[in-house]
Structure 1
Amino acid sequence: MASKLILGIPFSAVVFDCDGTLMDTEHHWIEARRVVLADRGITPGSDFSARTKGMHYSECGRLMAEMCGRPEKAAEVTERLLDEFRKLVVADAVTVPGAVKFVELAAELAPLAVASNCPRDIVETCLESAGLLHHFSRVVVPEGRIRPKPHPDPYATAARLCGADPGASLAVEDSMCGVHSALAAGLRVIGVGPEPPTGVEGMEKVEMWVERLDDPALLAPPSGGAAVVPPRRAEDAPDTAGRPGLPS
């Protein structure tokens, strides 16, 4: 499959995270967690949102149950968390700035997929409401043998289902949990968000961090159209063949 360029980076497929990257839902997760914890008389600390950003919802529910002193209620807390989040996102499904245009442009260049830690129904409902779902050939979520991020499974599987080698694929992410997942799968990564994390392992491997998906740098190649970094060879990517949890 021929490579195109974004930011001068050659790619044969683009795999997007959903929450916080395409859909402006992080505030819904914050509110859902607040409501569930408030019902149990708990007020999360100021660092709680940063700790749980990108975390799989079941792990977040387990952590919240432990905060409440009821670890045995992890499944119940997780289900309540998802219920609250679904209500919020259905009532207010909004894309992040620039997401629609960037996805439309990327879809003209290569196959697109989504790799998310959210349940499939939430991801597909969000993308459908935003008019974006039809652009994605695959939506990959933790189910069956696919482990959640930060395991490499979601990104490695998404690239394979697009018919692309992970080393020739580009990930677009807003959380370090997702960045670690994509890097472990061998994809190149563009980070998006208000500001890049500092002093975090893995950030040095991110090709570029942009504040928004309508950043002009994302919409045009560098001067001359030449790649700013050499293509990653397939043999340089981590070997995911036969890895436990990764579908063949």
Structure 2
Amino acid sequence: MLDALLFDLDGTLADTDKLHLLAMQQLLHEDGRTLTEAEFEAHISGRANADLCRYLFPDRPVNEHRAFADRKEARFRELSPTLQPTPGLLRLLEYAEDRGIGMAVVTNAPRANAEHMLQALDLAGRFEHVLVAEELPKAKPDPLPYLTGLQRLGAQAERALAFEDSVPGVKAASGAGIFTVGLSTSQTVEALRAAGAQLVVADFEDPRLWEVIKSI
């Protein structure tokens, strides 16, 4: 029987990558730099702020990394009122709630952004736990965030499902031994499968996903 559902946030509960890309492009433009969508997908999508800032600004001190990350998250929040839940998500949440299946969000986003997004999507209070990278010793792609999610929910990996849209996230969830469903909102099917996704879908309405849910 299925005991737990663990969800990434950005690109999984809602298609946010375009807003994150736009926020970063705007800020980098002010810095005299450009950022292509291809570079964003290859080096930034799904990564914690500390990691992406080290990539963007390898020669700058940590305090400047933090300042940029704060500005980036604030710009993202300004752009986020248009967000909508990924198709089929609300149906899945209701299915889990009706059956007492535990649910958690596991994200590399800062807590302020996670809480803002859940409020914007009208999902605040729907998850038992919201785990954020900045409050854990290691971020995705390390499996620790997902192992912590399982522990908080009192669930075993073989009776859980994880939902991810990024390569680091899929690596983290599959590395924790969880059946991982990739959502192709930001990466190709091939990239998600190579990272460890056992099923790749466009959204939560895919009949193949529901077959898996009902088979566990």
Same-fold call, TM cutoff 0.5: yes
1:172 aligns with 2:163: yes
Whichever structure has more helix as a proportion of its residues is 2
Does structure 1 conserve the Cα–Cα contact (< 8 Å) formed by 2:6 and 2:105? Answer: yes
Name the counterpart of 2:127. 136
Per the alignment, do residues 36 and 62 of structure 1 end up closer, same or farther by CA in structure 2, a change over 3 Å counting?
farther
Q: How does 1:31-42 map to 2 (within 5 A)?
A: 31-42=22-33
How many angstroms apart in 1 are the aligned matches of 2:158 and 2:137? 19
Output the CA distance in 1 between the equivalents of 2:204 and 2:104: 16
Aligned residue type for 1:96: T
Q: Report if the CA contact (8 A) 1:65-1:77 is conserved.
A: no
- Asked if the contact 1:111/1:162 (under 8 Å) is kept, the reply is yes
For the structure 1 residues 105 and 200, does the alpha-carbon distance in structure 2 shift closer, same or farther, using more than 3 Å as the test? closer
Give yes or no for the alignment of 1:59 onto 2:59: no
What is the alpha-carbon root mean square deviation over aligned residues?
Answer: 2.3
Which of 218, 222, 237 is equivalent to 2:209? 218
Provide the aligned length of Structure 1 versus Structure 2: 211
**Does the C-alpha gap of structure 1 residues 220 and 201 become closer, same or farther in structure 2, counting only changes over 3 Å?**
closer
1:53 partner amino acid: S
What is the Cα deviation at residue 201 of structure 1?
Answer: 7.3
Q: CA 1:137/1:187 → structure 2, altered by over 3 Å: closer, same or farther?
A: same
- Contact between 2:12 and 2:164, CA under 8 Å: does it hold in 1? yes
Is the deviation greater in 70-79 or in 159-168?
Answer: 70-79
Structure 1, unpaired ranges of 5+:
4-10, 232-248
2:75 to 80, 84, 95: 84
- 1:117 matched to which residue of 2? 108
Q: Does 1:22 align with 2:16?
A: no
Name the counterpart of 1:182.
Answer: 173
| Long gaps (5+) in structure 2 | none
* Structure 2: distance between partners of 1:83 and 1:50: 21
Deviation at 1:180, TM superposition (A): 0.4
Matched residue of 1:108: which SS?
helix
Q: How does the TM-score come out when normalised to structure 2? A: 0.87
The amino acid across from 2:55 in the alignment is L
For structure 1, which segment, 34-43 or 72-81, has the greater mean C-alpha deviation from structure 2 after superposition?
Answer: 72-81
Query: 1:97-134 CA distances to partner (integer Å, 9 max, x unpaired)?
Result: 22222222233331111100011121122122322232
**SS state of the match for residue 101, structure 1?**
helix
TM-superposition CA deviations, 1:28-66 (whole Å, max 9, x none): 100111011100111113421212110112222232224
Deviation at 1:78, TM superposition (A): 1.8
8 Å Cα contact 1:170/1:187 also seen in 2? yes
User: 1:71: which partner in 2?
Assistant: 60
Residue 176 of structure 1: CA displacement? 1.1
Q: Is structure 2 residue 95 aligned with structure 1 residue 105?
A: yes
Counterpart for residue 7 of structure 1: none
Higher Cα Rg, which structure: 1
Deviation of the 1:199 alpha carbon: 5.8
SS at match of 1:132: coil
Alignment identity in percent? 27
Residues 25, 94 of structure 1: 8 Å contact kept: no
